[in-house]
Amino acid sequence: MSVLLAFCLAIATLIPFASSASAAGAYTLSLTAPVSAPLNQGFSYTATISTPGASPAAPMTGVVLTSTLAPGLELDTLATGPGTPVQSYTYDPTTRVITFTLNDLTKQLTTFTYSVTQIDNTVKSQDTVLHTTISDQSGDPTSAADTKVVGDLNYHPGKSAFTVQGSNNRDVTYYLDVSTVNANAGTSTFTTWQQTLTDTLPAGAVITATSSNDGGTWTTTNNPDGTTTVTWDHLGAYGPRGPSLTELSGKKIWVQVHYPVAQFPDATIKPPLNTVQLTVKDHDGNAAGPTSASAQSVDFTTGVTKDIFLTKAAINGDKDIVSASGGFLSAYQVEAAYINGVDSDKASSMTVQDAATDSAGNAQFFDHSDVYYLNTIFNAALQNANLPYTLEYTTSANNSLWQTYTGSALTTGENTNFVVQTTGSAGMHAYQNNPVDLNIPIGEHLTGWRIVVSSGAALIPSGAEADVQANYAASYPSLTDGSLPTPATGSVGPIVNTATGSLTDASGVTHSKTDAANFTVQDRANIATFVAAPTSILVGSTAVYQATISNLDPVGRSYKNSELDVVLPPGVVYDPAVGITPAYASTPTTNIPVPTLGNGATVTTSNVTDANGEVHQVVHIVVADLPSLRTVGEVKNRDEFLGFRYNIPTQVLAQAFDPTQNTAEVTSWAFTNDPLYSSLRMDFYGPYYNPDLYDLDPALSRVAKWTDQSVVNTSGGLLLGKQVRADASADWGLSATVKSPGTVQWQVYVANALPESVTNAVVFDRLPYLGDNRGTQFPVTLSGPVTGAPAGAVLEYSTDATSASTGTWTTDPSNATAFRLKLDSLASGDNLTLLVSTNVPAAQKYQDIAVNDVTATADYQGQNRNFISNTATAQVEGTPSFTLVKKTNGLHYDSAPGAAVATGSTVSWTYQVTNTGDTPLDNVAISDAYTDGTGKAGTLTPTSSQTGTLLPGESRTFTATGTAVNGEYHNTATATATAVDAEGKALAPQPKAQTDQSWYLAGNAALTVEKTTNGQNVDSAPGLQLTPGDQVTWAYKVTNTGSLPLTNIDVTDKDSAGNTVFVGTVASLAAGKSVTLSASGKAISGQYHNTVTASAANPAGGDALQAADESWYFGAEPGISLLKQVSASPDGPWSNSVSIKTGASIYWQFTVVNTGNIPLGNVVIGDENLPSIPAIASLQPGETKTVVVKQDSIVSGYTNTASVSIPGVEVKTPGGTVIVKKPGAKATVTSSATVTIESPALAYTGAAFGWLLIGAVGLFGLGLTMRILSRRTRQRG
């Protein structure tokens, strides 16, 4: 309400229009401004020129105006050029004079605004009024505006009580300070030019000392009631931004008070609560206050003898210190004091130390703590002694090597802040008192420190205290190697860190103490954000915001898929036609390239509604990888907002105008979606984080946030804004993608930014149509009535109107191509919003556009005025799509087992992506997930030599190779792509990812063939012995002995002459399987040999597979001949007959010939008269053997017949092979020879007859024996 009242007062206090005449014609001029403006906040002036006689046909030309800004202001922004009233301007910052050269004025009423910022704010007060004038060409002021500067004098004092450790606590030092209540950048607190601190001490207390050289003046007053009042008064500017007064000056303000035992016995326990009051005055002497602060010292004690006292704790005294990893900054303090209650001896040296080499806990502490600052703080006793001291330190390069700070000489007379930084760091001095650099080589960090106070003589007084405050960034991972604690619970500690203090007194006695504190570090995600808004924005113009996301992790951990969300002010919308760009190519301190859109960064938009119901557009920028800016050991910059910074171009629509306030707030929010860190609490510096008001981060309720604001300027008049969306589910914007056929909705916003009401207003919207001058490529028609008209307004529709005053108008919206809204009046500051729903016709092409704006006319101060809105564009969305075809070794496989490949061989895959849609595709990528024969899973990343966008109809081939793993291999390729427009910006519709599978079976390929003849595997000649003409059957068993399937196995059997016996094909044969083929024929005579060959293509590539097997048989035809001859001599001659003398011996020769084709064995010659003829053991085909048998005492002649036979059942060959003959067949060969007895010359006698009879009987017996033997032989054969 107060802001609205201020606005109304501004209107009410307008200086009346002043008229002016010039060669260009007569006009009046007025200047308006806010009645008041907060200190430090910009605002705008609005100049209004009324030119009743101006028109497009008779413009007013040559108008030049001059404005003199009030002291304490400077020009910020002013819109110029075509489409704005101001053609150009000049500005002199010394005189604060702006000269405006206006464009030709064609309207009866013209307004323009120019925004200013406040400067020289330290000399402003609540009495300051900013008086600005504007003049015409004559140079005389014709209008002026006054703005009162408003603010506060909110300052508060600080007070703390301090006693020396180990003392009786009766000597108390009270430290005083002055601070601003609101010290941030946007504060409206006036600068103070006088600060007065007043402290009244209780009766009996003795003031022993006050600070000197502190910039102020001390006054002590003894009051009648026994109390004592001390006043510190400082004349000089302080505030409102920045640290406290003493932090800024580096000088402490203190008063030292002694509480005697007599007045304050031990029973009082402690000194009374003490309060200081602060009064401040601004530049013009206006006072504020008093404000107060109180402090009470600790309990009185009995004190101690002579010793050093040491404590280590957090600044607030806690012994258990919990730090956020990466937080800026954690701190601990080591306090060492010398107390001597025995004598007056002083000490000669005092040492305070904290180092990694002191204990395992200390080593662990410095491995998780990156020290940024070491502050040495000396109490009044040491400051007054002004003794020299040294600072020594160690680094991670060598924990045992102590180095000495070699800068300017150090004394206890002044506190010093050592800035521990890697060489080349910048900005680390900010907000530090008396800073000096302690430069550490790049790649190292501090691992120990100690200070040694020593002058070579006993000069350290009792009550001397030296404090060292260490400010550090804790780290959950190790600073040395980045490793995480084991187990990684998200917290490391408690780590026990021990400090050591030692002191040598005047007698040479060394006193030492240790004290420890417990440190715990909790893991955090260290992301910060920053947003900078233009100082002012102009409705109807453009504005650029800058937003930053920074990773401040102390050990360099990167965050994936981190998000920077910028919530724009209402009415300010992202301009995708310009697009987001990096504010710099690389980060200033770390030189990390800033990702660009489409190359590591993406942008989308959405809408959110705030608690007041205002709609804001959100620009979402997601970066694929967010590296750290503050890695330990690297060069650092104090400015934590130098991360990835982006320019966000916007258009400022009429909706940005709000008559109740002239500022527009923008916020930036940042977080990470990295699953490793998304659930971690975010931390760096507490005020940088706030509740997630819009639920932008799905994982956290508190995220990084920054806020800035701009002054909103307008050119006055009736403000018209146009936005578009596809349907109610989409967000409003300057452009929208729509379907064809489909719908498109338009929003029309109307606001009166003039000081007075307009009347007879007509808002006209001719919807996009082919041939309009807006570049429209497809028409739209209303799909229903326009909604949102205020009560009393008249809505009408037309199908043929070309302006608000032409065509036929009805209340029927059916297929209307135009509408108009009539308003009797619209008050100053009032607004309305219309919703216009339309249809998109079918068959529109991708990227066809429909462009729409809205115009209005209204009467203002008796003149009819014309107004026009921005344009909004609907674009037909594309239908992005693509296909993926994957091949293994050149072939496409739809199912297992797929390609057959040799284990260990190279497998090649190709992936062809074809753009089958109507939009270009960018970021085409393939990911191929596999599971190999061992069960191992992994992912291939195919590559292509082609880059850039893939246009519709084009194809791109990716390739990948691998080494075949034994067994079944299955991989599924997934192709992704981003549909983009001609400028490479991502489109709303995106193609679905495409997949294609493939398989291969890796192993060895082999086959065998086994051939049998009549069921027997005959490996060598002569093989089976068969009778010629008998049936012969061959079987061919083909076996796949490999692990890959075989196809089209050719089986061929040929005899030794090359004649084909059999041809067959096995269509397919799985691994480990067999198939048997067969063939038959008639046995032939003699040796027969045939060879079968099985062959197939090698499925794994390389030479064809081949296997063979041989077989034999023999066509047996046995035969034998016998020739029996006789001779009287063993040496022949041999003949068929021989004559011998009675009683002589004869010799029988049996010649046996094997006339068949098989060997014969055990050939037995049968002769009834010769029973003992030796058998022939073996007889090869064609072989002849002779047997000679002697027969003695032949007394009579005879003819003897011998035989040799081949039985019909079997004949034994020399090797014992049985040759089967045809049943019943028998081959017997006989041969005869004759023996004749020569007639004797002697007469026949009885004796002779007797001998003859005896011989006959003998021959008969012999014949009988031979016959029996012959029968047995036949039986055996």
Percent of the chain with pLDDT over 70: 92
Predicted pLDDT of residue 714: 78
Is residue 560 predicted with pLDDT exceeding 80?
yes
In this structure, what is the dihedral angle of CA atoms 481, 485, 489, 493, given to the nearest 10 degrees?
Answer: -120
Residue 1216, judged by CB atoms within 10 A of its CB (0-12, 13-18, 19+), counts as exposed
Short-list 236, 238, 202, 200, CA closest to 221: 200
Domains of the chain, with CATH numbers?
2-150 (2.60.40.10), 155-295 (2.60.40.1530), 306-522 (2.60.40.740), 527-713 (2.60.40.680), 718-876 (2.60.40.1530), 882-1003 (2.60.40.10), 1007-1114 (2.60.40.10), 1120-1276 (2.60.40.10)
User: Region 50-78: what's the mean pLDDT?
Assistant: 89
Predicted pLDDT of residue 694: 95
CB atoms closer than 10 angstroms to residue 274:
21
User: Region 391-419: what's the mean pLDDT?
Assistant: 93
Predicted pLDDT of residue 923: 92
* H-type alpha helices, 344-400: 360-366, 380-385
Find which of 75-79, 564-568, 1184-1188 is predicted with most confidence, using mean pLDDT: 564-568
- Specify whether the CB–CB gap between 632 and 644 falls below 8 A: no
Is residue 7 predicted with pLDDT exceeding 60?
no
Predicted pLDDT of residue 1230: 67
> Comparing 623 with 712, which gets the higher pLDDT?
623
3-state helix, strand, coil in the chain (%, to 5): 5, 50, 40
Cα distances from 940 to residues 930, 943, 945, 959, 961, in angstroms, run: 8, 10, 16, 10, 9
pLDDT in tens, 1000-1043: 999 898 999 999 999 999 988 888 888 899 899 999 999 999 88
Contacts of residues 2-7 at CB distance under 8 Å and 24 or more positions apart, as own/partner, are 3/660, 3/661, 4/659, 4/660, 6/34, 6/35, 6/36, 7/34, 7/659, 7/660, 7/829
Short-list 149, 174, 329, CA closest to 246: 174
Angle at 744 between CA 738 and CA 745, to 5 degrees: 140
d(CA 255, CA 568): 51
181 backbone φψ class: left, alpha, beta (φ>0; ψ -120 to 50): alpha
Predicted pLDDT of residue 1206: 62
Residue 1082, judged by CB atoms within 10 A of its CB (0-12, 13-18, 19+), counts as exposed
Q: How confident is the model at residue 304 (pLDDT cuts 50, 70, 90)?
A: low
Is residue 10 predicted with pLDDT exceeding 70?
no
Adjacent-strand bridge partners of 279:
196
- Specify whether the CB–CB gap between 725 and 731 falls below 8 A: yes
User: Region 760-768: what's the mean pLDDT?
Assistant: 96
Residue 307 phi/psi, 5-degree rounding, is -170, 175
User: Region 795-824: what's the mean pLDDT?
Assistant: 95
User: Region 650-661: what's the mean pLDDT?
Assistant: 88
pLDDT in tens, 129-182: 999 999 887 766 689 999 999 999 999 999 999 888 778 888 899 999 999 998
Predicted pLDDT of residue 77: 83
Is residue 323 predicted with pLDDT exceeding 90?
yes
> Comparing 212 with 917, which gets the higher pLDDT?
917
In what order do the strands lie in the sheet containing 1144-1154? 1120-1127, 1144-1154, 1184-1194
pLDDT in tens, 440-454: 999 999 999 999 999
Is residue 1238 predicted with pLDDT exceeding 60?
yes
Helix (H, G, I), strand (E, B) or coil at 275: strand
Buried b (16+ CB within 10 A) or exposed e, 456-474: eebbbbbbbbbbbbbbbbb
- Cα dihedral sign, 898-903-905-906: positive
Predicted pLDDT of residue 1213: 40
d(CA 182, CA 176): 19
In what order do the strands lie in the sheet containing 1198-1206? 1137-1140, 1227-1237, 1198-1206, 1166-1167
Q: Are strands 416-422 and 369-378 parallel, antiparallel or unpaired?
A: antiparallel
Predicted pLDDT of residue 141: 64
Buried b (16+ CB within 10 A) or exposed e, 133-168: bbbbeeeebbbbbbbebbbbbbbbbbbebbbbbbbb
Predicted pLDDT of residue 533: 93
CB atoms closer than 10 angstroms to residue 3:
15
Q: How confident is the model at residue 349 (pLDDT cuts 50, 70, 90)?
A: very high
Predicted pLDDT of residue 1091: 93
Short-list 991, 1179, 1020, 1142, CA closest to 1087: 1020
Angle at 576 between CA 572 and CA 582, to 5 degrees: 95
- What beta strand segments (E) does 1100-1207 contain? 1105-1115, 1120-1127, 1137-1140, 1144-1154, 1160-1163, 1166-1167, 1176-1179, 1184-1194, 1198-1206
pLDDT in tens, 249-287: 878 899 999 999 888 887 678 899 999 999 999 999 999
The residue to which tokens 């601190």 are assigned: 197
Predicted pLDDT of residue 1205: 67
Is residue 1263 predicted with pLDDT exceeding 60?
no
Is residue 427 predicted with pLDDT exceeding 70?
yes
- Specify whether the CB–CB gap between 180 and 154 falls below 8 A: yes
Short-list 1075, 1083, 987, CA closest to 1038: 1075
Residue 778, judged by CB atoms within 10 A of its CB (0-12, 13-18, 19+), counts as buried
Radius of gyration of the chain (CA): 58
Cα distances from 800 to residues 308, 809, 822, 834, 854, in angstroms, run: 99, 9, 18, 21, 17
d(CA 697, CA 689): 13
Adjacent-strand bridge partners of 141:
135
d(CA 644, CA 564): 10
Short-list 1066, 1062, 1057, CA closest to 1032: 1062
Predicted pLDDT of residue 767: 96
pLDDT in tens, 93-139: 999 999 999 999 887 788 888 889 999 999 999 999 999 999 887 76
Q: For residue 490, what is the DSSP state? A: S
Percent of the chain with pLDDT over 90: 58
User: Region 288-296: what's the mean pLDDT?
Assistant: 94
Predicted pLDDT of residue 23: 36
pLDDT in tens, 1208-1231: 434 444 443 334 333 333 445 666
In what order do the strands lie in the sheet containing 872-876? 735-738, 872-876, 849-852
Does 435 sit behind a cis peptide bond, omega within 30 degrees of 0 on the bond before it? no
CB atoms closer than 10 angstroms to residue 308:
23
- Specify whether the CB–CB gap between 296 and 306 falls below 8 A: no
Buried b (16+ CB within 10 A) or exposed e, 1240-1274: eeeeeeeeeeeeeeebeeeeeeeeeebeebbeebe
Helix (H, G, I), strand (E, B) or coil at 247: helix
Predicted pLDDT of residue 864: 81
- Specify whether the CB–CB gap between 875 and 735 falls below 8 A: yes
| Average pLDDT of every residue of the chain | 87
Is residue 863 predicted with pLDDT exceeding 50?
yes
d(CA 877, CA 1028): 88
pLDDT in tens, 945-996: 999 999 999 999 999 999 999 999 999 999 999 998 877 778 878 999 999 9
d(CA 1231, CA 1122): 6
H-helix or E-strand containing 866? strand 863-868
Token readout for 307 is 């010793």
Predicted pLDDT of residue 52: 80
